[in-house]
Amino acid sequence: KRIILIGPPGCGKGTQSPFIKEEYCLCHLATGDMLREAVAKQTKLGLEAKQAMEAGQLVSDDLVVGIINDALKRPACAKGFVLDGFPRTVVQAEKLSAMLAKHGQEINNVFNFDIPDSVLEERITGRWVHLASGRSYHSKFAPPKVAGIDDVTGEPLVQRKDDNVEVLRKRLDAFHTQTVPVIEYYTEKHKVTTLEANAPTSEVSRQIERALGF
């Protein structure tokens, strides 16, 4: 299975990914997580991406397409993958189609997380993340066992630099202008399942299960 998750900041892409990954033994490719890791390690890639990310803008298509092109070569991704946060421009979607076509592959499912902008602020401002693993918590909706501590590793949780109201507005603008056309791109190819994402986490998982035919 080759699956794409599309939706605005805070819609639940990162929350649903581990569930899909485990059910299907797929590799999880989250461009946001990979870029944050590069920023933390101060690699060349990280230095190029940092400013745009902190301003809530998209980083360049070439940069993220390069990351995905490398990641898709991993043996673990041969069986299939869940793409979280990619593609988010039509150029990225076209490049992905071309990369897959080279190996006679294509995308099987695109999930469009439908959710009103108005509920995203509370989700984003209450989020706490474990940077090394990409695990997310929420102070109200999904609290860790001990406040500020990752359940699995016992390491501290942090808030993302772009998780504030001002930058969220920029990220939402980028979503509506640059990423909504990607949903249209896949709708023309008849691959999109729209999820009612303003629902409890387990209910969103059930909608995904139904579409994947568990």
Binding site for ligand AP5 (CB under 6 A): 7, 9-15, 31-32, 35, 52-53, 56-59, 64, 85-86, 88, 92, 123, 126-127, 136-138, 141-142, 162, 171, 200-201, 204
- Smallest gap from Cβ 102 to ligand AP5, in A, equals 20
Measured from the CB atom, the residue of 104 and 194 that comes closer to ligand AP5 is 194
Closest separation between CB of residue 111 and Zn ion, Å? 14
Phi, psi of 136 (to 5 degrees): -115, 145
Helix (H, G, I), strand (E, B) or coil at 156: strand
Residue 46: contacted member of ligand AP5, Zn ion, none (CB under 5 to 8 Å, by partner type):
none
- The H or E element spanning position 128 is strand 127-130
Nearest to 183 by CA among 102, 92, 100, 98: 92
Contact 161, 55 (CB under 8 A): no
- Mapping DSSP to helix (H, G, I), strand (E, B) and coil, where does residue 57 land? coil
Chain residues in the site for Zn ion (CB under 5 A): 13-14
Whose tokens are 């999820």? That residue is 195
Query: Between residues 40 and 98, which has the closer beta carbon with respect to Zn ion?
Result: 40
Q: Which residue is nearest to ligand AP5 (CB)?
A: 32
Q: Which one of ligand AP5, Zn ion, none is in contact with 207 (Cβ closer than 5 to 8 A by kind)?
A: none
Q: Which residue in the list 88, 95, 123, 135 is annotated as catalytic?
A: 88
Pick 98 or 104: Cβ nearer ligand AP5: 98
Sign of the alpha-carbon torsion through 189, 115, 117, 84: negative
DSSP state of 158: B
Q: How far is the CB of 177 from ligand AP5 (least distance, A)?
A: 13
Catalytic residue status for 169? no
Calculate the CA 96 to chain-centre distance. 16
- Identify the helix (H) or strand (E) that includes residue 123: helix 120-125
- By beta-carbon proximity to ligand AP5, the closer residue of 16 and 104 is 16
Residue 127 is among the residues annotated as catalytic for this protein: yes
Q: Which residue in 59, 34, 36 sits closest to 48, CA to CA?
A: 59
Whether 88 is catalytic: yes
Least separation in angstroms between CB 14 and Zn ion: 3
The set of catalytic residues is: 13, 88, 127, 160, 171
